[in-house]
């Protein structure tokens, strides 16, 4: 077999290998990009839900704090109702 025939076979095999390899890379990139898009959507949903959770927690904290102050004032008033009232002694 002469050298030119060997070169033609080499280039043919190399071309087919490069085309097959490029096809695999293209399919791999497609799946990577699709997965990245899905991850981006999940991150968006998590960000939105965490903001909703933070707002709900802030609201609950404010409600609990308000009830706690009201309860504390009620307890203080209840205890003070049993305490003897102080009468001022007039100096003569």
Tell me the average confidence (pLDDT) per consecutive run of 10 residues in the chain, 92 residues long. 83 96 98 96 94 84 71 73 66 62
3-state secondary structure of 91: coil
Residues 56-68: b if buried by 16+ CB within 10 A, e if exposed: eeeeeeeeeeeee
pLDDT at residue number 53: 86
pLDDT recorded at residue 90: 63
The reported pLDDT for the residue numbered 66 is: 67
- Residue-level pLDDT at 3: 82
User: What is the 8-class DSSP label of residue 31?
Assistant: H
- Return the SS3 of 25: helix
In this predicted structure, what is the pLDDT of residue 6?
84
Instruction: Give just the sign of the alpha carbon dihedral 20, 24, 25, 27.
Output: positive
């Amino acid at each position: 077999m002469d050298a030119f025939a060997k070169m033609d076979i080499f280039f043919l095999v190399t071309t087919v290998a490069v085309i097959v390899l490029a096809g695999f890379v293209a399919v791999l990139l497609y799946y990577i990009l699709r997965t990245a898009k899905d991850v981006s959507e999940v991150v968006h949903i998590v960000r939105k839900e965490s903001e909703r959770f933070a707002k709900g927690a802030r609201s609950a904290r404010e409600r609990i704090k308000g009830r706690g102050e009201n309860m504390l004032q009620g307890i203080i008033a209840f205890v003070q109702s049993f305490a003897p009232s102080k009468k001022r002694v007039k100096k003569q």
